[in-house]
Amino acid sequence: MDATVEMTTVSARDMEALKRRDLGRREKRSADLSLLAGSPIDAYERYTRAAELTRHSHDPLWYASALEGCACAFIAMAEAGGHGVDEYLENNFQLPEEIMALAIAQGVAAGADLGDSKGKTMTVDRSKTTLPQAVTALVEEALSVLCRHEKLASLHAGLLLKLAEYVQEL
């Protein structure tokens, strides 16, 4: 997916995009290390920044990896509990607006009823969601990115298996 770029032929705009891409990749690596060090809150914040940077720099592999990392950080925060994690999740457990809109649109397209049995329309609180919904939405977005690129098929399959294992454990 990466190509070697001759730096003398790169425009200033492309150079800025390369810098954002590299910064996003460094953020993702830092998030991985934060998660390994046992700090899922820091990891989540770094994964979120990495996802924003890699998404806007058209770096699909690293964008999908950052989304997967966000999901892992959510799971780690929920399992860790204590040390203010529960309060953090209660106050900040929200998905980026774009991902929530996409998940709701997919639910409507799949025939999900967003109203009650009396014909009233249900209001959707886009700022709060349950852990399984958040994890599923993040992983499905990552899967949709990975499935567009033939060379990423093995990563798509691996992530699909991870999602199946997570859902099975619920």
* Residue ranges per structural domain of the chain: 7-169
Q: For residue 137, how many C-alpha atoms fall within 13 Å in the half-sphere facing its CB?
A: 23
Out of 25-29, 44-48, 60-64, 111-115, least confident range:
111-115
The pLDDT value recorded for residue 36 is: 96
Q: Please give the structure tokens belonging to residue 142.
A: 């990552």
- Separation between Cα atoms, residue 126 and residue 101, nearest integer Å: 8
Kindly state the average pLDDT of the residues 44-62.
93
What's the pTM value of the predicted model, to 2 decimals?
0.72
